[in-house]
């Protein structure tokens, strides 16, 4: 391609600069007073043409036409701001959701005046990390009535999202000038991490067995040989024959083995997420999901479980834990310097950080691309979470 043709196809920086300046001027006028629409600019140009012709010809009817158009433009510029002046906006609290679900956001736009409000645009300025702003067109708000604007917004990733600005915009009644006014109402949307429905988790079931004695109840011994029956699964080579459930095996035509639940008495467990170190973003998201899943699995198993992060220390309670995991980030400021002395499950990307743990602990390694795939010289059992395999299935495997 000739250089001259290439130069003609290259965008002109001055053009984009001028476009940005015009857009900034438009926004400044629209938010502080009114900004002319394309039709308003055309009509203003026609009025100037009539006024120029009247000045040259001294024809009175040309002055009249230009004066009428000028008066129309004046009214069209005055009425939009008056239409938005007394409108009131209120935002309702947003219920937390899990990642992948849809946020339900509700706003109330009140018209306390005795006149109807027509042809409005409402815009909720969501944070850019959550998505594009939500918009709605309102044809009519009757006098002393409230319009309820409810919309659903999809979520992709956990987090705590905050924003506050709601904009109302109108060009009523003639559409010649736009006016926009902002209302600031703080909003907080909490998107929890996904909690995997683990049917079993040996990483939790076997923790602390080296130091703590399992205590069984009367129902424990009545329900099974070694533990409470949690579920049935197909027989695998090496399973003890005493765990075969003969009635189900006869009905299904193949051996079914009982999965036993370990019942503990007064056992404490801490799920520790290593947030003080550097993670790869995708691995950290997996670790957050794993931490939430392990916490709720242990809670269902009647274990006194807590969550620990470097930025918060020990936490307990479903809602508190979920909000903490929704907001946590890598390389947090260290507030809790020392690990708890109880048995814990240590989630980290670095193999070398799996060595100095309290007795009876387990580890769950999410190695970065530059790290090794195993915990070197660790005296504790654990899991290495691989990238290309299902996290749910890996958490249900016995520790190695």
- Mean pLDDT confidence for 83-111: 94
pLDDT of residue 139: 93
Same domain, 50 and 94: no
Same domain, 43 and 121: no
Same domain, 150 and 241: no
The answer as to whether 69 is a domain residue is yes
Alpha carbons 117 and 173: distance in angstroms, whole number: 10
Q: Give the domain-ending residue among 83, 104, 133.
A: 83
CATH label of the domain that carries residue 95: 2.60.40.10
pLDDT category of residue 11 using cuts at 50, 70 and 90: low
| Statement: residue 292 has pLDDT above 50 | yes
The answer as to whether 35 is a domain residue is yes
Alpha carbons 271 and 287: distance in angstroms, whole number: 11
* 253-257, 341-345, 347-351: segment of lowest average pLDDT: 253-257
- Mean pLDDT confidence for 330-347: 84
pLDDT category of residue 220 using cuts at 50, 70 and 90: very low
The answer as to whether 357 is a domain residue is yes
Choose among 223, 310, 300, 230: nearest CA to 269: 300
- Work out how many domains the chain is built from and give that number: 4
8 A C-beta contact, residue 201 and residue 396: yes
pLDDT of residue 210: 53
Pairing of strands 382-384, 362-365: parallel
The answer as to whether 313 is a domain residue is yes
pLDDT category of residue 360 using cuts at 50, 70 and 90: confident
Same domain, 301 and 377: yes
Give exposure, 318-351, as e/b (b: 16+ Cβ within 10 Å): eeebbbbbbbbebebeeebeebbebbbbbbbbbb
8 A C-beta contact, residue 140 and residue 182: no
pLDDT tens digits, 52-93: 998 888 888 989 999 999 999 999 999 999 999 889 999 999
The answer as to whether 12 is a domain residue is no
| Statement: residue 295 has pLDDT above 60 | yes
pLDDT category of residue 260 using cuts at 50, 70 and 90: low
pLDDT tens digits, 367-379: 887 665 566 567 8
Residue 173, CA atoms < 13 Å, CB-side half-sphere: 5
The answer as to whether 160 is a domain residue is yes
The answer as to whether 10 is a domain residue is no
Structural domain boundaries, residue 257: 218-261
Same domain, 297 and 383: yes
pLDDT category of residue 213 using cuts at 50, 70 and 90: very low
Same domain, 279 and 309: yes
Q: Give the domain-ending residue among 192, 226, 250.
A: 192
Same domain, 374 and 331: yes
Find residue 229's DSSP bridge partners.
Answer: 260
Instruction: Using DSSP, state whether 143 is helix, strand or coil.
Output: coil
Q: Give the domain-ending residue among 38, 56, 83.
A: 83
8 A C-beta contact, residue 385 and residue 363: no
The answer as to whether 107 is a domain residue is yes
Same domain, 388 and 274: yes
Same domain, 146 and 252: no
Q: What does pTM read for this prediction?
A: 0.74
Same domain, 384 and 273: yes
Alpha carbons 87 and 95: distance in angstroms, whole number: 26
Same domain, 336 and 314: yes
Same domain, 282 and 389: yes
């Amino acid at each position: 391609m000739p250089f001259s043709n290439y130069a003609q196809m290259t965008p002109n920086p001055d053009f984009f600069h001028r476009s940005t300046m015009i857009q900034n001027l438009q926004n400044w006028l629209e938010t502080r007073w009114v900004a002319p629409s394309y039709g308003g600019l055309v009509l203003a140009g026609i009025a100037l043409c009539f006024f120029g012709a009247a000045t040259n010809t001294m024809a009175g009817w040309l002055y009249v036409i230009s004066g009428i158009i000028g008066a129309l433009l004046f009214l069209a510029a005055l009425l939009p701001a008056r239409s938005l002046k007394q409108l009131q906006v209120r935002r309702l609290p947003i219920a937390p959701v899990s990642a992948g679900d849809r946020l339900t956001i509700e706003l109330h736009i009140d018209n306390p005046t005795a006149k109807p409000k027509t042809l409005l645009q409402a815009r909720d300025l969501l944070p850019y990390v959550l998505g594009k702003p939500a918009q709605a067109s309102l044809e009519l708000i009757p006098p002393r009535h409230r319009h309820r604007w409810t919309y659903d917004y999809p979520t992709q990733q956990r987090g705590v999202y905050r924003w506050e600005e709601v904009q109302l915009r109108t060009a009523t009644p003639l559409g010649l000038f736009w006016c926009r006014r902002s209302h600031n109402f703080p909003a907080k949307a909490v998107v929890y991490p996904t909690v995997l429905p683990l049917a079993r988790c040996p990483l939790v079931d076997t923790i602390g067995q080296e130091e703590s004695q399992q205590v069984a109840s009367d129902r424990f011994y009545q329900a099974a040989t070694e533990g409470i029956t949690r579920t049935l699964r197909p027989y695998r080579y090496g399973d003890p024959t005493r765990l075969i459930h003969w009635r189900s095996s006869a009905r299904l035509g193949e051996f079914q083995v009982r999965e036993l639940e370990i019942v503990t008495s007064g056992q404490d467990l801490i799920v520790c997420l290593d947030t003080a170190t550097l993670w790869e973003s995708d691995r950290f998201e997996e670790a957050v999901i794993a931490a939430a899943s392990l916490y709720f699995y242990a809670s269902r198993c009647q274990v006194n479980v807590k969550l620990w992060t470097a930025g918060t220390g020990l936490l307990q309670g479903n809602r508190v834990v979920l909000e903490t995991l929704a907001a946590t980030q890598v390389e947090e400021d260290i507030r809790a310097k020392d690990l708890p002395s109880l048995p814990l499950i240590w989630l980290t990307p670095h193999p070398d950080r799996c060595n100095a743990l309290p007795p009876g602990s387990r580890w769950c390694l999410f190695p970065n691309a530059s790290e090794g795939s195993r915990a070197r010289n660790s005296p504790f059992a654990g899991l290495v979470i691989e990238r290309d395999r299902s996290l749910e299935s890996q958490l249900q495997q016995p520790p190695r």
